[in-house]
Chains A and B, each alone.
Chain A
């Protein structure tokens, strides 16, 4: 558990020497508690304090880097069970699986999709992460051929799935320097795989049914000198996965089972319900998810869910305040006021677009608060509306002086009229009804 500022303060020398750059030991302790400080900045820390503080500030789940270059990803280094407690930091890699039984053409096609397919949402480009190659042929040559074919056209993180050490060794000739993930060590073969992993400096997945076995195995692998590990609890059902993954996360972050403090690997393609498994993997702590190549529909939903879950929950997403256009509004087009909470903005924008009535959206700065909250908190008020109309020169854009305000802002209507001299129309509370409102009320 994270230490509070006062607990840390008690371990500090309390000299207020300022050598750490902070005015007092207490402010330094507050920084450390917030995860923003560096204990090494304190020159007077005794050994005991260093050990205690060091142990609680080290990430409870190891950070593992997969691949190299621009498309490499890092997974792990998470601190919380619930994203609202802080945030989730490293979103899971989603890997498309291919088989060395597939034709080279097929494989190149999938590779190209993973390499090129991009979904742009809220200004961010979302991709799939890489490819997982299954050594289904059972022999080394086809495996190596497929991998070299992929390497020819893409610099993507790879996962090598094989229980044949020769096949792995052969494949690693082609990609060993690019940090592919090796799958998977079990209690039988872990020594050999650890050797291979060490030789190429590649991360390794360990696999076992049962968390005790999994923990033993990671311990043995670290003894062999491999520490960049992922763990696969080998679930058979979705129910197995959620239980295993939740348990691993909880025991890892509470530091009750440090041997489970590794990112979780989840093969969704073997579940028979791939979409459900992907959704589950995203929300419930998978760090690497393998799937069969899938449809556009699943792609969009999966990447969007991943983006949603891995945004910082403590930051309200804000839009830039301003006057936005829907379609090409003319000087008689309606002006709709709303707040700069992006959820509100996008929802209203969506409904307005579907009405096909050109109009203006006047977005005012409520610091990302929703209509309801900003009215309650007094952030949305007549002064803000008046100033925004002036600032964004709304009066130059239109001939009329009518403003549509959200239904939840109805209590402000009188005061907005007084402050702006505009006529205020109270719109619906539910954005879904804006179309009807515009047709019935605006056209009047």
Chain B
């Protein structure tokens, strides 16, 4: 009897292209085709294939950014351009994820500065960019418009569409040829519903990255883990509305009690370990993009992903 792992998958994960190089009309140094897998993560993945990508998160207003991440990054945080550049050259991230935290200011009306911020970051790094816009419906449309326009031709990944506010981000993505992050609260059905809603306003599947919402390790991560597993399972089983790649963005990781209140000598390592354990588990559950805020985590994850793809005995 042969002991092979055969799940009888009938579907495969669709590809989404992040970033455009000059051959594709953009200015990125590289672009990625994420997704494309036709089995569970790392099961029959070959060494030369794409690992999960690591997106380093930066922001344009650090007031509420985790102090741990701030001190780990140092002075570069004061200039979003420096920060973006360091993420590429020094931290060795695959992607930069820019949170436009400056748009979170309450009562903000004039968002015309957004375009400039995006342009600055684009000029500072050659990595493909993920941009997180506002989370206030009344300025959504304008913010996404600005992001979309500033990144025209660069194949950005724009965040975040949700079931009750997806029209304006979709409009910006369609107008300027970008992709969108579709976030739903830790539920496979809600994830699928949002993808259908997006499809019905003509956002093609190869422009959607699913964010199933990641709770911090110890604070609901298990729900996210299972949501990711279920989404990947359904995608591989052939459910076309769930065959998009996934992004894991555990935004609360550095703010939870275990990390925030850790004693000073351990705090840095705990922060890294928390991101690292979360990242490994999420990658195994199916995430194609892992978001990270501590520079040290990037290297550890990369090394682990290489080892996960290496097969000496068991070929899968």
Contact flag (A, B; Cβ within 8 A): yes
A residues sitting closer than 8 Å to B (CB atoms) are 82-84, 121, 209-212, 215, 233-240, 242-244, 246-247, 250-251, 257, 260, 271-273, 275-276, 279-280, 282-284, 295-298, 300-302, 304-305, 307-309, 311, 313, 342-343, 346-347, 350-351, 353-354, 370, 372-373, 429-433, 435-437, 440-441
14 A-B pairs within 8 Å (CB atoms) are namely A212-B1, A235-B314, A238-B310, A239-B316, A246-B5, A246-B40, A275-B276, A300-B273, A307-B218, A343-B215, A343-B220, A350-B255, A354-B260, A431-B252
- B311 interface residue (CB < 8 Å to A): yes
A236–B226 contact, CB under 8 A?
no
* B221 touches A (CB below 8 Å): yes
Interchain CB contact (< 8 A) of A298 among B187, B257, B273: B273
Q: Which of A273, A304, A311, A436 contacts B64 (CB 8 A)?
A: A436
Shortest Cβ distance from A371 into B: residue? B185
Inter-subunit contact B307/A273 (CB<8 Å): yes
* A-side contacts of B9, CB under 8 Å: none
Given known A-B contacts A210-B313, A234-B313, A297 and B266 have beta carbons under 8 A apart: yes
Q: Is the CB–CB distance between B225 and A308 below 8 Å?
A: yes
Q: Residues of B contacting A440 with CB < 8 Å?
A: 106
Known: A243-B43, A301-B274, A373-B185. A276 touches B222 (CB 8 A): no
Please tell me which one of the listed residues A239, A304, A430 contacts residue B218 in the complex, with CB atoms under 8 A apart. Answer: A304
* Contact across chains for A82 and B230 when beta carbons are under 8 A apart: yes
B166 at the interface (CB under 8 A from A): no
* Selected interface stretch from B25-33, B87-95, B278-286: B278-286
Contact of B230 among A84, A246, A305, A429 (CB under 8 A): A84
Please state if B256 and A302 are interface contacts (CB–CB under 8 Å). no
Q: Is the CB of B307 within 8 A of A239?
A: yes
Q: Chain A residues with Cβ under 8 A from B276's Cβ?
A: 275-276, 279, 301
CA of A192 to CA of B7 in the docked complex: distance in angstroms? 38
Distance in angstroms between the alpha carbons of A279 and B281 in the assembled complex? 7
B1-48 CB contacts (< 8 Å) to partner A: 1-5, 7, 40, 42-45
CA distance A302 to B257 in the complex (A): 16
Contact between B106 and A441 (Cβ–Cβ < 8 Å)?
yes
Residue of A nearest to B310 (CB): A237
Nearest residue in A to B279 (C-beta to C-beta)? A279
- Smallest Cβ-Cβ distance to B106: which chain A residue: A440
Measured CB to CB, the closest approach of chain B to A135, in angstroms, equals 25
Evaluate whether A244 and B314 lie within 8 angstroms (CB atoms) in the complex, with A239-B307, A313-B226, A435-B64 already known: yes
B113 is an interface residue with CB less than 8 A from chain A:
no
Contacts A243-B314, A343-B220 given; indicate if A275 touches B277 (C-beta within 8 A). Answer: yes
Chain A to chain B: the 9 pairs with minimum beta-carbon distance, closest first: A343-B220, A276-B304, A297-B269, A211-B3, A308-B222, A243-B314, A238-B307, A279-B280, A236-B312
User: Which residues of B are found within 8 Å of A437, using beta-carbon distances?
Assistant: 106
**Chain A positions within 8 Å of B312 at CB level:** 236-237, 239-240
